């Protein structure tokens, strides 16, 4: 499938990388480049836009003074993307913590949103403790994060791309029900500096901003 690509500039001068294909009603996938191939069938009946949020993927590397609002920046940027393409109304597809982005967007811009699909989103209130059976907080999760801790302390390689790939080779196990499917997960995008540094960005700005939400 052919994708057009380009950059959308936000009000504070950050350029967001996007890909666009198809025609018809709009579905927008924030931080969705790694999902594009799996969901490109949506473009058979829709205009599909996937883009990298600020400081991620192929979007600009962003200075700290433009990151402090965390996920609230992403909400504003999503509306910038909508307006850039002239969409009056959009459906939204989001995975992981970006589910919070689209939920906040739908609350703030209800008239511009049709359907919202969230895949494995973060919980709406970070202070709530859910039982393990609702969070899949099992032995595998503990093993994965213990192994990631070991990698961060003493990786087998000093090459940043290889370190990133080593990290994802372990992390991807928690995204599948059957371990034999883990190799199908290739979301690291380790060739980009933003993705190699994504964990630091998320822990410093995005997740703290989510924890403040009520």
121-151: pLDDT as tens digits = 998 898 898 888 888 888 888 999 899 888 8
What pLDDT, on a 0 to 100 scale, did the predictor assign at position 157? Answer: 75
Number of separate domains in the chain: 2
b/e burial code for range 52-65 (CB count within 10 A of at least 16 → b): bbbbbbbbbebeee
39 and 82 belong to one structural domain: yes
Range of the domain at 104: 1-128
Q: How far apart are alpha carbons 100 and 72 in whole angstroms?
A: 10
Residue that the structure tokens 């990298």 belong to: 52
72 and 7 belong to one structural domain: yes
Is residue 154's pLDDT more than 90?
A: no
Residues 51-97: tens digit of each pLDDT:
999 999 999 999 999 999 999 999 999 999 999 999 999 999 999 99
Q: Which residues pair with 116 in a beta bridge?
A: 92
With bands split at pLDDT 50, 70 and 90, how would you rate the model's confidence at 107? Answer: very high
Q: How far apart are alpha carbons 177 and 92 in whole angstroms?
A: 25
Comparison of pLDDT for 180 and 18, the residue scoring more:
18
151 Cβ partners below 8 Å, 6+ apart? 163, 166, 167, 170
Of the residues 128, 150, 182, which one is the last residue of a structural domain?
128
113 and 141 belong to one structural domain: no
The answer to the question of residue 71 being in a domain is yes
95 and 160 belong to one structural domain: no
The answer to the question of residue 214 being in a domain is no
DSSP 54: T
Residues 179-188: tens digit of each pLDDT:
899 999 889 9
What pLDDT, on a 0 to 100 scale, did the predictor assign at position 17? Answer: 98
With contact defined as beta carbons under 8 Å apart, do 163 and 151 qualify?
Answer: yes
Indicate which CATH number applies to the domain containing 51: 3.40.50.1820
What pLDDT, on a 0 to 100 scale, did the predictor assign at position 79? Answer: 98
The answer to the question of residue 211 being in a domain is no
Name which of 96, 52, 47 is nearest 74 in CA terms: 52
């Amino acid at each position: 499938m052919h994708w057009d690509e380009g950059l959308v500039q936000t009000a504070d001068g950050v350029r967001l990388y996007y890909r666009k294909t198809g025609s018809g009603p709009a579905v927008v996938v924030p931080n969705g480049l790694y999902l594009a191939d799996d969901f490109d069938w949506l473009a058979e009946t829709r205009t599909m836009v996937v883009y990298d949020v600020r400081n991620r993927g192929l979007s600009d590397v962003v200075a700290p003074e433009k990151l402090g609002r965390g996920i609230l920046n992403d909400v504003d940027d999503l509306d910038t993307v909508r307006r850039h393409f002239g969409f009056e109304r959009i459906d939204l597809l989001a995975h992981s913590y970006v589910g919070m982005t689209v939920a906040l967007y739908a609350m703030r811009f209800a008239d511009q949103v049709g359907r919202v699909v969230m895949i494995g989103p973060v919980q709406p209130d970070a202070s709530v403790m859910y039982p393990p059976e609702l969070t899949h907080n099992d032995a595998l999760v503990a093993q994965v994060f213990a192994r990631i801790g070991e990698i961060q302390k003493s990786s087998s390689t000093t090459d940043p791309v290889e370190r990133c790939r080593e990290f994802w080779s372990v992390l991807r196990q928690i995204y599948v029900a059957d371990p034999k499917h883990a190799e199908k997960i290739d979301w690291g995008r380790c060739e980009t500096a933003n993705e190699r540094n994504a964990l630091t960005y998320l822990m410093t700005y995005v997740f703290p901003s989510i924890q403040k939400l009520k």
